Amino acid sequence: MSRDLRLCRTEEDTIIMVMLSKKVDYPGPIRELVQQLRRLPGIGPRSAERIALWMVQTPDARATDIAAAISQTAARIRPCRQCGFFAEHDLCDVCADPARDRSALCVVERATDVIFLERTGTFSGLYHALGGKLSPLDRIGPEDLKLDGLLERVRRDRPEEVILALGADVEGEATASYVADLLSREGCRVSRLAQGMPAGAGIENADDLTIARAFRGRTAFRP
Amino acid sequence: MTLERLSLRDFRCFARLEAEFHPQVTCIVGRNAIGKTSLLEAIAVLLRLQSPRTGSLQYVIRAGAKGLVVDGFVDRRHLQFYYSAKRRKLALDSVEQKVTTSYLEIARVVYLANSDIDLVRGPAELRRRFLDFLGAQLLANYREILRSYDKALRSRNAYLKMYPSRPREVQAYTKVLLKFGHQLTALRAFLVERLEPEVLRAFAAISDRGEVVCLHYLHGATLDFERALQESAAEEERLRTTVVGPHRDDVQFLLHDQPADLFASEGQQRTLAIALKLAQAKLLATDFSRPPILLLDDVFGELDQTRRNRLLQQLPPASQQIVTTTSLDWLAELPAGRVCRLEEGPAPADRLIVDYPTGSRPVFRPKGPA
């Protein structure tokens, strides 16, 4: 640092050099924490800095609790051996629950989809997460999906119905068609979710395509 | 509907451009290669998020620039569109739009160009693009069905290209392809059916001779799509791509029962091309409460005075027209409006729109009774 300063001749250069050499950042541990926080999704450089400072400055931050929660979660959570949903043990809470209806199996794309279906409280059977959808343009083929596990489960547990709760987009439909084809020889009923009107809303709240689909998929009215 | 203002960044040859338009006729004069066509293309992109000239907007970004911006006001609604290879963003009245539905409801466009003659004698791809450009403006779900079909097709082709072959995966996408293919075919058949009488009427009005025009929708899959796919299995195996389907659709034009691309004269072909665009304008004007914005790219230069006048009379009344030209000879025939020049700006790729200085400004005569 001092050698750089000595090299400078003009006053202007000296000033620049002094500024560069005097540039002070946070101490190493804080910088390291900011770097780590920045890796989190949705956290930019500013937010990372704010969180790091909060942890250092706030007496109530209880950083050790946060650290413990983070490290324990990663260590204790794994995909369920059977269905792929998040689990603490070998099996997830759904698969381990003896009260669940074992005659119905619901196939979803991602493990997080299970949560959306569970929140509705309408389904009491078991799930199977494929871990993706058939999408050759993104280089995802059947070998990347948990299809062997699904076939094995269907053969072993003989569910009466397999419900395909996959998206209505092009890849979702192709995946549904692929899975239905795969299961057609297993002798179980395969169904898929209906498309139609959003519940609890007037017709004016649905977009044209939804109304059109709902219209085509209308059902008999039983008073 | 009226386009009031337009501003561009890094669109084709334009680094930047600001323009204002007359509610009736704006006539833009400029030398060759100054960017008149690109200006009209930019209007189409702003209003419809697609170019009538090219399938992919990637080639519309100015060379060396990262992304393009088109920004403008239609009926005091503010439309903004940013497009780059990685990202596209659109906003309506400064509110970012996740879906295109409400944005695209603001304006509809018909683009007439000298190159329209290629609709009659050029490759089928141009006729499909013509149908798609109209379909997306006329039918609510056209865009979505077209995109879904396209994605299913590309996915299926990706599996057809794989070694060793993947019959099950191909079959899974076959079902999706058939579903969207049937929908797309139905929509296109409907479009052709609605276009035909309007084309016939417009053609007769311009050519003034009792010529009979027919439009034939030629399906990219003869017989029914499903059977055609099954029967083309051997060819698919050999070429490793989907060889039948709506992506091979075409429209044939018959003039007195003869294919127009082979038997019609150059003049008839040109008239037919104009009639197609006029039919498009007519359909859009009929279906919606306000006529579409008309972009006329150098079309008058190739026509004699009689046909020029007839074309002007056939344009939907009260529609805004934005016209480009290299010469001003026929300007007196236009109804009232604004005439301006497109010129180079101070920076190399800047363009300016300048009103004709008073004195050299051509005099308009009010259009007399037809």
Identify the CATH number of the domain in which residue A33 sits.
1.10.8.420
Query: Phi and psi at residue A52, in whole multiples of 5°?
Result: -60, -45
Identify the CATH number of the domain in which residue A111 sits.
3.40.1360.10
A92 domain-assigned: no
| B227, B245 contact by CB (below 8 A) | no
How far apart are alpha carbons B360 and B94 in whole angstroms?
Answer: 40
A142 → chain B, closest CA residue: B169
Give the pairing of strands B293-297 and B109-113. parallel
On whether both B238 and B351 belong to a single domain, the answer is: no
- A174–chain B Cβ distance below 8 A for any pair: yes
A46 domain-assigned: yes
Separation in Å, CA of A177 to nearest CA in chain B = 5
Q: How many domains does chain B have?
A: 2
**DSSP single-letter state for residue A194:** -
How far apart are alpha carbons A182 and A162 in whole angstroms?
Answer: 12
* Two structure tokens written together for A76: 């204790």
On chain A, the residues whose CB falls within 8 A of the CB of B148 are 169-170
B176 → chain A, closest CA residue: A174
| B251, B218 contact by CB (below 8 A) | yes
Percent of chain B with pLDDT over 70: 94
Burial (Cβ within 10 Å: 0-12, 13-18, ≥19) of residue B262: exposed
How far apart are alpha carbons B113 and B58 in whole angstroms?
Answer: 22
pLDDT for B197 beyond 50: yes
Residues 6+ apart with CB under 8 A from A122: none
Q: What is the pLDDT of residues B274-304, one digit of tens each?
A: 999 999 999 999 998 889 999 999 888 777 7
Give the pairing of strands B3-11 and A189-192. unpaired
pTM: 0.80
B167 → chain A, closest CA residue: A178
On chain A, the residues whose CB falls within 8 A of the CB of B139 are none
- Please indicate whether, in this complex, the C-beta atoms of A177 and B172 are within 8 angstroms of each other: yes
- Please indicate whether, in this complex, the C-beta atoms of A174 and B173 are within 8 angstroms of each other: yes
Indicate the pLDDT class of residue B10, thresholds 50, 70 and 90: very high
Q: Which residues are registered as beta bridge partners of B113?
A: B297
pLDDT for B337 beyond 90: no
Q: What is the pLDDT of residues B66-106, one digit of tens each?
A: 999 999 999 999 999 999 999 999 999 999 998 888 899 99
On whether both B212 and B250 belong to a single domain, the answer is: yes
Least confident of B18-32, B249-263, B273-287, B294-308: B294-308
A96 domain-assigned: no
On whether both B307 and B287 belong to a single domain, the answer is: no
Separation in Å, CA of A77 to nearest CA in chain B = 33
On whether both B280 and B251 belong to a single domain, the answer is: yes
- Please indicate whether, in this complex, the C-beta atoms of A178 and B172 are within 8 angstroms of each other: yes
On whether both A49 and A121 belong to a single domain, the answer is: no
On whether both B252 and B270 belong to a single domain, the answer is: yes
- Choose, out of B162, B169, B180, B242, the residue to mutate when testing the contact with A (most A CBs < 10 Å): B169
Identify the domain boundary among B275, B291, B307: B291
Identify the CATH number of the domain in which residue B25 sits.
3.40.50.300
pLDDT of residue B210: 73
Domain that holds residue B160: 116-291
Counting every residue written for chain A, the total comes to: 223
In order of A106, A171, B155, B158, B178, the CA distances from B242 in angstroms are 33, 18, 10, 10, 12
pLDDT of residue A83: 92
Interface A-B, measured as beta-carbon pairs within 8 A, has a size of 57
Percent of chain B with pLDDT over 90: 58
ipTM surpasses 0.95: no
